[in-house]
Structure 1
Amino acid sequence: MKKPIAWIMDTTGFVTEEFKAHPDVYIVPLTIHFGAEEFIDDGVDLTNDDLYKRIKEATSLPKTSQPSAGKFAELYNKLQEQYECAIAVHASAKLSGTIASSTAGAEMSGFKVYAIDSLALSYGLSGLVERGFELEEQGLKAEEIAQRLEKETTNFRNYILIGNLSQLYKGGRMSGAHYYLGSLLQIKPIVQLTADGELKPIDKVRSHNKAIQYLIKHAQKDHEDYGVRRFQIMHGHTMKEAESLKQEVLKIIPDADILIGDLSSSLAVHAGEETLALLWRKDDL
């Protein structure tokens, strides 16, 4: 007898230890390109330490590429022997072509795959997969789960404090004048994955401390308004700052449940070392 649902995600999401150990979760990695060199984004082929070291030394930023439709088709051909269907949760289509490859791969294989645009990256993607586990345990069928997850993409909240302006500059996302002034004035850009899945600047804050308080203020509001107490802190190779942010959140929300993890490589190559992101789902009651 076939199992009901295989769960698919890509490495733009935060790959938790639970996902790695889960027998029905399949992680499809992106590829990171440093010039002619290619690395599989699996944390083994290129560790986080190596990634940031290479980024720091590079004159231009690395590029990322989604898995091909053929890679997905190969996986789906194998899975249809064991599962009735799959639910695939992928990075925002505005930021990555992964969901298009996944959908094309499903068509090539003839396997039923419910592909969901998370409209997010990092834990915004992973949190939907975890939510899917809960719905499956409640007895919902795959189609119902997929429909619920698509609706719940709007519950994701995120505030991202850019850590390294030089990376934005090298990536062509900031002019030389803006880079100089931003560094001189210690301006901290704050960006956000919007409700339609785009990554956009939403504010600029003077000083690191003010930026941290900016993040916490928004978390506190949703805690007070909606009872949110589960938060995620994603960081770009700066665990000390992530731990500090956690302690600051706990001062305001003492019963908060906070997970700390690394930024996905796809976001790290753009956002930069020392980036901090505070994330949560508005329906976490």
Structure 2
Amino acid sequence: MQIITDSSCDLPKEILEENNIIVVPLNIEIDGENYVDGIDLTHEEFYKKMATSEGLPKTSQPSPQSYVDAFKKAAQRTGETLCIHLSSKLSGTMNGAIMVREMMEKKIEVFDSLSGSMGLGMQVLKACEMRKEGASLEKIIEKLKEYRDEMRVVVYLETLENAVKGGRVNRVKEMVANLLNLKAIVHVEEGYVKILKTIRGKKRATNFILEQIAEKNMDFKDRIIGITHCDCIEDALALKEEIIKRFSPAKVLVTTMGPVIGTHSGQGGLLVCF
């Protein structure tokens, strides 16, 4: 079975290669220049360009040809294909995959992660794990639905600058937030991104995220906790150490957040998936 995802999954290159995952790239436009995510724009380059851009970078779903190429490549490898994509509530990426699938002869299942970044990435890893165990396509989809529904994705926003650039928050509110040192915490709910809480100070915001993990009230010894960061590796590693100390998970996977979700999170943002 071949597994396909899109570049918003934010999984490190070595993990993608190790698990033989095909990635369909999204597109990014920054100040009139167009880039293909992960092909001619790295995460590091993206944050440098975003920091000096006049407006908010724009992202768009993969081209139809990208899907055709991915499906043809998959068909050469195996008879069955599972595509796991960015939330359909946030992007047309999944619908694009469904449209192209209708032109293909091979069996292709398209699954809505109802998430993004590591929330998507961890579902892809779960599918790879079950594939190694010999699970059928139907069984993998069944378990993915359970895993998706119990998953929590929480995001810390260091700044509201990108929300202002995107027109979602006005400049006055940003000034007030900066003056009071207010930090926004958002989360993914039913595929949408919604504000969870506004907290004064970074330390309190981080503690709130740790409390959210604790409230799950489960043994993490066999679970992976994912962290993606918006060009703030030191903050991500500090959070990783605290998570290990408090919850002793099987693994904490830390990587950079790519342009698709990073555009909206902004510099200094942290996403935690558990």
Question: Could you tell me the TM-score, scaled by structure 1's length?
Answer: 0.90
Instruction: Find the aligned partners of 2:74 and 2:252 in 1 and give their Cα distance.
Output: 34
- Cα 1:255–1:148 change in 2 (3 A) is closer
Instruction: Find the aligned partners of 1:23 and 1:278 in 2 and give their Cα distance.
Output: 22
1:29 aligns with 2:25: yes
> Partner of 1:111 in structure 2?
106
User: In the alignment, is the contact (CA less than 8 A) between 1:117 and 1:150 conserved in 2?
Assistant: no
> Partner of 2:198 in structure 1?
204
After TM superposition, give the deviation of residue 18 of structure 1 in Å.
4.3
1:11 aligns with 2:21: no
Instruction: Find the aligned partners of 2:226 and 2:24 in 1 and give their Cα distance.
Output: 22
- Cα 1:71–1:255 change in 2 (3 A) is closer
User: In the alignment, is the contact (CA less than 8 A) between 2:184 and 2:195 conserved in 1?
Assistant: yes
Residues 243-252 or 91-100, more deviating: 243-252
Superposed CA RMSD: 1.7
Runs of 4+ in structure 1 over 6 Å off: none
Question: Could you tell me the TM-score, scaled by structure 2's length?
Answer: 0.93
1:191 aligns with 2:183: no
> Partner of 2:74 in structure 1?
79
Aligned partner of residue 190 in structure 1, secondary structure: strand
Aligned partner of residue 12 in structure 1, secondary structure: helix
User: In the alignment, is the contact (CA less than 8 A) between 2:25 and 2:66 conserved in 1?
Assistant: no
Instruction: Find the aligned partners of 1:80 and 1:123 in 2 and give their Cα distance.
Output: 27
AA at the equivalent of 1:279: C
Instruction: Find the aligned partners of 2:231 and 2:151 in 1 and give their Cα distance.
Output: 23
- Cα 1:266–1:137 change in 2 (3 A) is same
Residues 93-102 or 76-85, more deviating: 76-85
User: In the alignment, is the contact (CA less than 8 A) between 2:43 and 2:258 conserved in 1?
Assistant: no
> Partner of 2:261 in structure 1?
267
Q: Cα deviation per residue 1:129-179 (whole Å; 9 max; x = unaligned)? A: 111122223322112212321332102112110122111111111112211
1:247 aligns with 2:225: no
User: In the alignment, is the contact (CA less than 8 A) between 2:87 and 2:112 conserved in 1?
Assistant: yes
- Cα 1:256–1:142 change in 2 (3 A) is closer
> Partner of 1:227 in structure 2?
219
> Partner of 2:50 in structure 1?
55
AA at the equivalent of 2:191: G
User: In the alignment, is the contact (CA less than 8 A) between 2:225 and 2:249 conserved in 1?
Assistant: no
User: In the alignment, is the contact (CA less than 8 A) between 2:187 and 2:195 conserved in 1?
Assistant: yes
Unpaired runs of at least 5, structure 1: 281-285
1:142 aligns with 2:137: yes
Instruction: Find the aligned partners of 1:66 and 1:241 in 2 and give their Cα distance.
Output: 30
Instruction: Find the aligned partners of 1:232 and 1:170 in 2 and give their Cα distance.
Output: 28
After TM superposition, give the deviation of residue 103 of structure 1 in Å.
1.0
Percent identity reads 26
Q: Cα deviation per residue 1:69-100 (whole Å; 9 max; x = unaligned)? A: 33212331343233112000000001111111
Q: 1:181 aligns with which of 163, 176, 184?
A: 176
Unpaired runs of at least 5, structure 2: none
